[in-house]
A and B are shown apart, each in its own frame.
Chain A
Amino acid sequence: MLVSYQWLKKYIDIDDLTAEEVAEKLTRSGVEVDLVHSMNKGVKNIVVGKVLECEKHPEADKLNLCQVDIGEDESVQIVCGAANVAKDQHVVVAKVGARLPGGMKIKRAKLRGQTSEGMICSLQELGYEGKLVSKEYTEGIFPFPTEMTPGEDAMEALNLGDQVLELDLTPNRADCLSMIGTAYEVGAILGRDVKLPETTMERGQENASDYVSVKVDANEDNPYYGAIMIKDVTIAPSPLWLQTTLMAAGVRPINNVVDITNYVLLEYGQPLHAFDYDRFGSEEVLVRRAKDGEKITTLDDVERTLTADYLVITNGKEPVALAGVMGGANSEVQSDTKNILLEAAYFKGTTIRKASRELGLRSDASARFEKGVDPSRVRAAGERAAKMIAEIAGGTVLSGIVEFNELDVTPKEVTITLGKINGVLGTSIDTDTVKEILSKLQFTFELEGEMFRIFVPTRRQDIQIEADIVEEVARLYGYDNIPTTLPNTATTPGGLTEVQAKKRKARRFLEHAGVNEAVSYSLTTGEKESHFHEDADSLSRVKVALPMSEERSTLRTTLLPHLLDALSHNKNRSNLNVSLYEIGSVFHTEEETITKQPMETAMLSGAFMGLCYEHSWQGEKKAVDFFVVKGIVEGLLKELKMEGDVQFVQSEPKGFHPGRAAKLLVNGKEMGVLGQIHPSVAKEWSLPETYVFELNFHALVEGKGKEIRYSPIPRYPAMDRDIALVLDETVKASEVEKVIVEFGGDLLKNVALFDLYQGEHLEAGKKSLAFSLRYQDPEKTLTEEEVTKVHESVLAGLEERLGATLRS
């Protein structure tokens, strides 16, 4: 809502306050003013000029030579390029030395050999937005609609001294979507009265009911419909004050009748509609739900197909307006309109909202109906507009209003005790203060002991319950005056749950392992995920009903594609060594047509490319490989106290390098995958050798995990034996280790692989693995013989099970 400071002054005495001061007070009491802007965007020294002569420029077809009286001894010559400039017009002249918005300074100039002493201005050149300028002269200069005095200051005539408060209204304060409502709000803050416009007027002899009847077939949607008849009007541009007032409020002037309905809409917050009575098509107003498939061409010349959810105004046969949203083209007020049928109605918010949303038609009218207009002001607004039409456009307002009226205008009654108010706020406000605040709000009330019985005026539809009254009292009492206390409740132990604490541990572990945390979007496209899922388009995905774009059309089922996007983004910016991890949810449904909330599973994923370690001047460089990633995963499992049998099983998940990927099994249950991205998939992202892991974080942090128990430090020395084995290439290191552990028995305390060799010194198809074995007895010092005995059985076991031989 744009509130002109000058206009507001018509309803409340605020001469002692600047626009900024009013704005600050409104903001502090709950109606936020985003900005106070000045109508003057930097204009100086402009006057009214009268065009005495206007001829074509001898050297240029598109220029005019104008002799203009600017109230000085002699007229001045001004070259003007506007097509609509004409003799006898009163125009805005920026004199030599004047300033226009943007710091432009007007100088004496020569245009194609002719001197030009000043400039005849368009409204746009004076800082008005093009969309607010009447269509008649958006392409040219602005001619004043009435006679003016040459030389007179044009700033005031154009209302450029005005300031506009831009209200950022919350949905509950629809009452401030009007000048009068805003005036009431300012009045409540300042404790001042509001001056309402005069609505009494002279009426013609004839009765409106002789011209029109009103019938409503949808009284739920339309509890009030009032029709006022105004005969013999003259359609013309509005007087200047009305035009500038509307422009300040952000509304484009059209013609006097339409401008008046808009003016009253802004003044009362009550949308009105003027029909051309002679084009209405009948003498009967019938309000009803539209028929499915019924059509109407609205004022914007668009043909719209209606459904039974929408309310229409008809002439008994066909729709003439989409109720509360937009009028029909067939009954539009035009330049030759003589007789006006003026509608002042109350339409139900939800009905209007549905039509305006579904048709994508938001108007000043629909916005107000949706939020609820003041039922007590409907008729008054109609009368106010009729009075103004008669005054400005001529014509006679006929007697009576033809009405359908089932509107409830009883004030809402709310009771509350002083104790309740203070109890909620933590204040000790006294009865007199509450009485004063209610009076400022112009709420009538009765006081019964400590109990206030409050009758809320219908303009404040937002006030329904005790809590609403508490807020009204609090905001006018001043939030600053509420004391600062701490809750009197029993102390509660705060803290993280085990899972939340583990999440933090995982994050810290990864960060100290050199991995940066990433956060990416949950919405993605199935196409990106198809690289990793056989069933990318299958039913398990959760899709957004009306996506904004294909890119964000479905909820992710894996974090990997967006991490690859991030790597790719970095690579394109020459960040070549990147390690990222993300913890985030993925979404699956088991239903064919989703009706229940999908499963949300927290995943922990990482993606790596380039070097994971670099210390160049000492020659240390480590490119990321499978084992770097595996090491991180193993470390993480330990950090999370993961208990049980952890296995990395060679596998070929979709999207991965077939020889360099593994499934992670914990106690036989699949917990994730890791490995190199398949080179052809990496190519899709233009990535080099890239490694990833994706773990089911939810499953990893379930359960208590292994507690730490101290085990005694051995008192007897250990004995180390190293063995280098020759094996078939296909034998896995983990199998070898398993056999060693099995045959090593109780005395074997530790096995560690320390070398892997494949190459020229070995037979083809063979590899060598070297292990260091540590033997130890907690009870005594082991002898050579004891160790040799066990060690030999280990070697025999390796040979028997895996065909391993000692490397010579």
Chain B
Amino acid sequence: MLDRLQELKDEAIQKVNEANSVKELKDLRVAYLGKKGPITEVLKGMGKLSAEERPKVGQMANEVREAVADLINEKETKLEEEALVAKLREESIDVTLPGRPVGKGSKHPLTSVIETIEDIFIGMGFTVAEGPEVETDYYNFESLNLPKDHPARDMQDTFFITNDLLLRTQTSPVQTRTMEKHEGRGPVKIICPGKVYRRDEDDATHSHQFMQIEGLVVAEGIRMSDLKGIFEQFVKRYFGQDREIRLRPSFFPFTEPSAELDVSCAICAGKGCRTCKHTGWIEVLGSGMVHPNVLSMGGFDPEKYSGFAFGMGVERFAMLKYGIDDIRHFYTNDTRFLSQFNRV
């Protein structure tokens, strides 16, 4: 009987080794280890054996069973793994196909410039003030030291609605409106972004509607050197740490002394190129110490308070930053233009 068991074992091992599918293995398991299988058959004949032989045969039968069962399990696992590998291989995809897009609209470049500048000034303790786009002559001109018939009014051609109402030509009226709200008590630290309007024919460099950001600081003891200091911080944060600033004397009716702010040209690093008209400098904003008349009209005592103000063209900043060559692009809303700014 031992021989028979050995024979069965060899036979089963050979068949398991030859098996190629999980199903064959299942069949072999039934065939050899099942209740009607040959090993069971062998064990049924154990009654005829002597008491001495019986445990030997029993032990051997169990060993054969275990050995065959282990082998089947092992083989089964192996085949399953192979089947999985084959299945996964079949599921393989072309990873270079385009991904499912997540729709992302773009911030308008003008908004992007405004928000960036707002954030820089907010970081320096400024708040954002806004004002109406239809203004009175008083706020747009007179309170800014531009009485009627002042020749400097020619600097800005105005869309009038009536003799007294107009589309604001600058964001500066927000200065007076904010000062009035402060009722003569400082400090005032604001920036005011917004749309402004001038009677210009639209072309590559002119637009009858454009955006400005006005800034105003009024407090006791404000000096022109402070204006320089704030500009230095602003320019380094907006244009880059390696940029230099310089002030040039200028004229605005609402400031005295007045200054234009130039920033060293990024393209040529100040050496002179086409962008900076070979000067090495790019003019970015107008500024100055608030004119005493403007302080008075805003309800501040010019003997006690001083301040500085500045104004910048948002389109100009965007054009410089992104290299845009035509101001009309900002108002045409061509998606081929707009969608270029979906990362700003």
Interface residues of A (CB under 8 A from B): 27-30, 32, 170-174, 349-350, 353-354, 370-371, 423-427, 465-468, 470-471, 474-475, 479-480, 482-497, 500, 504, 507, 510-523, 542-548, 552, 555, 563, 566, 569-570, 573, 575, 578-581, 584-585, 587, 594-598, 600, 612-615, 617-618, 620
**14 residue pairs bridging A and B, Cβ less than 8 Å apart:** A32-B248, A173-B251, A353-B151, A426-B225, A474-B249, A482-B225, A483-B228, A516-B105, A516-B106, A516-B108, A519-B330, A521-B331, A552-B208, A597-B136
Chain B residues within an 8 Å CB radius of A617: 97-98
Binds A, one of B20-28, B66-74, B118-126: B118-126
Which of chain B's residues 292-307 have a Cβ closer than 8 Å to chain A?
292, 306
Given contact pairs A511-B106, A522-B195, enumerate 9 new A-B contacts (beta carbons under 8 Å). Answer: A171-B251, A171-B253, A474-B224, A495-B127, A507-B111, A516-B106, A517-B107, A522-B197, A545-B160
A494-B121, A511-B107, A579-B105 in contact; A487/B226 too (CB < 8 A)?
yes
Q: Which residue of A371, A466, A494, A581 is within 8 Å of B123 (Cβ)? A: A494
Complex CA–CA separation, A595 to B162 (angstroms): 7
Q: Which residue of B155, B186, B224, B330 is within 8 Å of A489 (Cβ)? A: B186
Asked if B291 and A467 sit within 8 Å, CB to CB, the answer is yes
Measured CB to CB, the nearest residue on chain B to A24 is B279
Asked if B125 and A492 sit within 8 Å, CB to CB, the answer is yes
Measured CB to CB, the nearest residue on chain B to A426 is B225
Taking the closest CB of chain A, its distance from the CB of B157, in whole angstroms, is: 10
Asked if A470 and B257 sit within 8 Å, CB to CB, the answer is yes
Asked if B256 and A490 sit within 8 Å, CB to CB, the answer is no
Complex CA–CA separation, A590 to B226 (angstroms): 45
Binds A, one of B40-48, B51-59, B75-83, B213-221: B213-221
Taking the closest CB of chain A, its distance from the CB of B173, in whole angstroms, is: 11
Chain A residues within an 8 Å CB radius of B128: 496-497, 500
Measured CB to CB, the nearest residue on chain B to A479 is B247
Tell whether B61 is near chain A: CB-to-CB under 8 Å: no
Asked if B161 and A542 sit within 8 Å, CB to CB, the answer is yes
List 10 tightest A-B contacts by C-beta distance, closest first. A426-B225, A514-B103, A30-B249, A426-B223, A170-B251, A471-B257, A566-B333, A467-B256, A475-B249, A494-B122
Tell whether B222 is near chain A: CB-to-CB under 8 Å: yes
A467-B289, A511-B106, A522-B209 in contact; A475/B251 too (CB < 8 A)?
no
Taking the closest CB of chain B, its distance from the CB of A166, in whole angstroms, is: 13
Contact with A along B209-245 (1 / 0, CB 8 A): 1000000010111111110111011000000000000
Chain A residues within an 8 Å CB radius of B324: none
Complex CA–CA separation, A726 to B165 (angstroms): 61
Tell whether B334 is near chain A: CB-to-CB under 8 Å: yes
A491-B125, A595-B162 in contact; A555/B134 too (CB < 8 A)?
yes
Q: Which residue of B149, B201, B225, B333 is within 8 Å of A580 (Cβ)? A: B333
Asked if B249 and A516 sit within 8 Å, CB to CB, the answer is no
Taking the closest CB of chain B, its distance from the CB of A437, in whole angstroms, is: 13
Binds A, one of B8-16, B30-38, B264-272, B335-343: B335-343
Complex CA–CA separation, A612 to B104 (angstroms): 11
Q: Which residue of A495, A570, A573, A618 is within 8 Å of B100 (Cβ)? A: A618
Taking the closest CB of chain B, its distance from the CB of A283, in whole angstroms, is: 35
Taking the closest CB of chain B, its distance from the CB of A637, in whole angstroms, is: 18
Asked if B248 and A516 sit within 8 Å, CB to CB, the answer is no
Tell whether B39 is near chain A: CB-to-CB under 8 Å: no
Asked if A615 and B101 sit within 8 Å, CB to CB, the answer is yes
Complex CA–CA separation, A543 to B165 (angstroms): 11
Complex CA–CA separation, A518 to B225 (angstroms): 39
Asked if B152 and A171 sit within 8 Å, CB to CB, the answer is yes
Asked if B229 and A521 sit within 8 Å, CB to CB, the answer is no
Asked if A424 and B334 sit within 8 Å, CB to CB, the answer is no
Asked if A615 and B100 sit within 8 Å, CB to CB, the answer is yes
Tell whether B142 is near chain A: CB-to-CB under 8 Å: no
Chain B residues within an 8 Å CB radius of A578: 335
Tell whether B3 is near chain A: CB-to-CB under 8 Å: no
Chain A residues within an 8 Å CB radius of B107: 507, 511, 517
Tell whether B65 is near chain A: CB-to-CB under 8 Å: no
Asked if B222 and A489 sit within 8 Å, CB to CB, the answer is yes
Complex CA–CA separation, A148 to B135 (angstroms): 64
Asked if A475 and B257 sit within 8 Å, CB to CB, the answer is yes
Which of chain B's residues 110-148 have a Cβ closer than 8 Å to chain A?
110-111, 115, 118, 121-128, 130, 132-136
Asked if A172 and B189 sit within 8 Å, CB to CB, the answer is no
Asked if A27 and B126 sit within 8 Å, CB to CB, the answer is no
Q: Which of B100, B197, B338 has most chain A Cβ within 10 Å?
A: B338
Measured CB to CB, the nearest residue on chain A to B290 is A467
Tell whether B92 is near chain A: CB-to-CB under 8 Å: no
Tell whether B154 is near chain A: CB-to-CB under 8 Å: yes
A485-B225, A494-B121 in contact; A598/B149 too (CB < 8 A)?
no
Chain B residues within an 8 Å CB radius of A548: 199, 201, 208
Chain A residues within an 8 Å CB radius of B259: 479
Q: Which residue of B104, B111, B246 is within 8 Å of A512 (Cβ)? A: B104
Complex CA–CA separation, A370 to B149 (angstroms): 9
Measured CB to CB, the nearest residue on chain A to B222 is A487
Q: Which residue of A423, A500, A569, A596 is within 8 Å of B332 (Cβ)? A: A569
Asked if A598 and B208 sit within 8 Å, CB to CB, the answer is no
Asked if A479 and B105 sit within 8 Å, CB to CB, the answer is no
Complex CA–CA separation, A513 to B105 (angstroms): 7
Q: Which residue of B151, B223, B306, B333 is within 8 Å of A519 (Cβ)? A: B333
Taking the closest CB of chain A, its distance from the CB of B205, in whole angstroms, is: 14
Asked if B100 and A620 sit within 8 Å, CB to CB, the answer is yes
